[in-house]
């Protein structure tokens, strides 16, 4: 199968180690996962996220339609604000996690996972009958770059037509970046402060505007030690931040209550939504397993699919859904699902690492790192 390429492929081909991801030919790293990871935690890095799905939903019923599709409450949004949410199937399983921005009262901008581009758009389309809403897949005409790290603001401001320090988390603004029309939202997938920028009129066939913004960012961030980053660092950063990766930590057989995403399920919002009944029933019956974070207490790196055992090593209690080496903590960390009685912080567990039951324990995982030292909540001078 022919792999798809993003607007920034020319740069990746020249500078990066390429792999296949979600049908795209993407850079896994440029210099290396660890230096790129550290650049984002300590300064700034940029990621090509143009492989992700982007959709416009316009019309008088756009808000009512989206509120029916997702679990969070869109009606509470002011124009120029976005929110994180999931959408569920009728069984309460997660179809995808996504961010929805309200640009104007009848115009929404929706960003979802690369691996679900076709699935999500079709899922939206399939449910839109009877709503006055027009859905348009704009993934291929708008490029997307994530600028992440404590120096992301200062980097982006250098090429921005307007100041950005007053832009709040999940706020989205229109602006020009190096003279190119774009939007910037104060969001990301790394745990750090930063922006995701959307570059208009940039297709894989006409990538000039996307390449111009990418190159200007690299130049603007040079004084801070900016690095272009690949999917490897994107994965290790989001794991340290305790953020879900669709297909690993959440999927159609996992509901948001066990995924610890209860905060995006608004049972009391004014309208019904797909999966509401199933989720109410699950809540009623009691959630049986929970997503947890695990930190290794002895040598070894937990990986996706490894078994989680109880602390005595007597029985298997769950499976790792994401795991790896944490460059920030210099230790193996993981997320996975365990029964309710094992979810308490400090509970000892074991990970079956190729036949060896290595010791670990349940820890705070959203994020794994110390929030006074890393992440967007810290105060950066």
Partner 1 sequence: MSEEYEVPEGLYYTEEHEWLKVLDDGNALMGITDYAQKQLHEIVYVELPEVGRDVERMDTIGTVESVKAVSDVYSPISGTIVEVNEALLDSPELLNEDPYGDGWIAKMKPKNLDADLKELMTAEEYKKHIEALQH
Binding site for partner 1 (CB under 8 A): 13-18, 28-29, 32-34, 232, 236, 299-301, 303, 324-325, 327, 332, 354
Smallest distance from partner 1 to CB 38, Å: 11
Rounded to an integer, what distance in angstroms lies between the CA atom of residue 281 and that of residue 48?
40
The CA-based diameter of the chain, rounded to the nearest angstrom, is: 62
| Rounded-to-integer distance, Cα 209 and Cα 198, Å | 11
Query: SS3 of 271, please?
Result: coil
With contact defined as beta carbons under 8 Å apart, do 87 and 184 qualify? no
CB 234 within 8 A of CB 189: yes
In angstroms, give the least distance from the CB of 238 to partner 1.
13
Buried b (16+ CB within 10 A) or exposed e, 102-141: bbeebbbbbbbbbbbbeebbebbeeebeebebebebebbb
Minimum distance from residue 341 beta carbon to partner 1 (Å): 31
What is the chain's Cα-based Rg? 21
Shortest gap between Cβ of 235 and partner 1 (angstroms)? 8
User: Measured from the CB of residue 85, what is the shortest distance to partner 1 in angstroms?
Assistant: 30
Q: Which helix (H) or strand (E) holds 41?
A: helix 33-42
Structure tokens of 356? Answer: 């060896």
Q: What phi and psi, each to the nearest 5 degrees, are found at residue 89?
A: -85, -175
- Least CB distance to partner 1 at residue 215 (A): 18
Neighbours of 282 (CB within 10 A): 18
Question: How far is Cα 3 from Cα 235, in angstroms, rounded to an integer?
Answer: 21
- Please report the sign of the dihedral spanned by the C-alpha atoms of residue 333, residue 12, residue 251, residue 196: positive
Closest approach of Cβ 329 to partner 1, in Å?
12
CB of 299 to partner 1, least distance (A): 7
Output the DSSP codes for 99-125: EEEEEETTEEEEEE-GGGHHHHHHHHH
CB nearer to partner 1: pick between 17 and 378: 17
Q: Which is nearer to partner 1, 15 or 136 (CB)?
A: 15
């Amino acid at each position: 199968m022919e792999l798809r390429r993003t607007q920034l492929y020319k740069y990746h081909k020249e500078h990066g180690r390429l792999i296949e991801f979600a049908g795209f030919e993407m850079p896994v790293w440029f210099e290396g996962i660890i230096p790129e990871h550290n650049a984002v935690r300590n300064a700034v890095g940029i990621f090509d996220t143009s492989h992700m799905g982007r959709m416009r939903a316009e019309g008088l019923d756009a808000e009512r339609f989206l509120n029916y599709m997702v679990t969070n409450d869109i009606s509470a949004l002011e124009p120029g604000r976005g929110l994180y949410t999931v959408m569920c199937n009728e069984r309460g399983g997660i179809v995808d996690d996504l961010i929805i921005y309200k640009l104007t009262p009848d115009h929404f901008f929706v960003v979802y996972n690369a691996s679900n581009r076709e699935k999500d758009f079709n899922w939206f389309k399939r449910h839109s009958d009877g709503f006055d809403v027009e859905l348009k897949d704009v993934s291929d005409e708008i490029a997307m770059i994530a600028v992440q790290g404590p120096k992301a603001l200062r980097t982006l401001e250098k090429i921005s037509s307007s100041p950005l320090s007053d832009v709040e988390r999940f706020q989205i603004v229109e602006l020009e970046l190096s003279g190119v029309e774009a939007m910037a939202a104060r969001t990301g997938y790394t745990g750090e402060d930063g922006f995701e920028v959307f570059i208009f009129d940039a297709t894989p066939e006409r990538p000039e505007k996307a390449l111009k913004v990418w190159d200007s960012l690299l130049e603007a961030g040079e004084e801070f030690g900016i690095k272009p980053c690949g999917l490897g660092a994107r994965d290790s950063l989001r794991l340290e931040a305790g953020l879900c990766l669709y297909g690993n930590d959440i999927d159609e057989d996992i509901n948001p209550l066990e995924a610890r995403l209860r905060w995006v399920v608004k049972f009391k919002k004014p309208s019904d939504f797909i999966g509401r009944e199933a989720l109410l029933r699950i809540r009623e019956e009691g959630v049986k397993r929970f997503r947890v974070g695990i930190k290794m207490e002895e040598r070894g790196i937990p990986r996706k699919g490894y078994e989680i055992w109880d602390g005595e090593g007597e029985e298997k209690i769950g499976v790792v859904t994401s795991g790896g080496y944490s460059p920030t903590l210099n230790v193996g960390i993981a997320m996975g699902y365990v029964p309710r009685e094992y979810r308490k912080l400090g509970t000892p567990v074991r990970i079956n690492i190729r036949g060896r039951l290595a010791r670990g324990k349940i820890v705070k995982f959203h994020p794994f790192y110390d929030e006074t030292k890393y992440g967007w909540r810290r105060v950066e001078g």
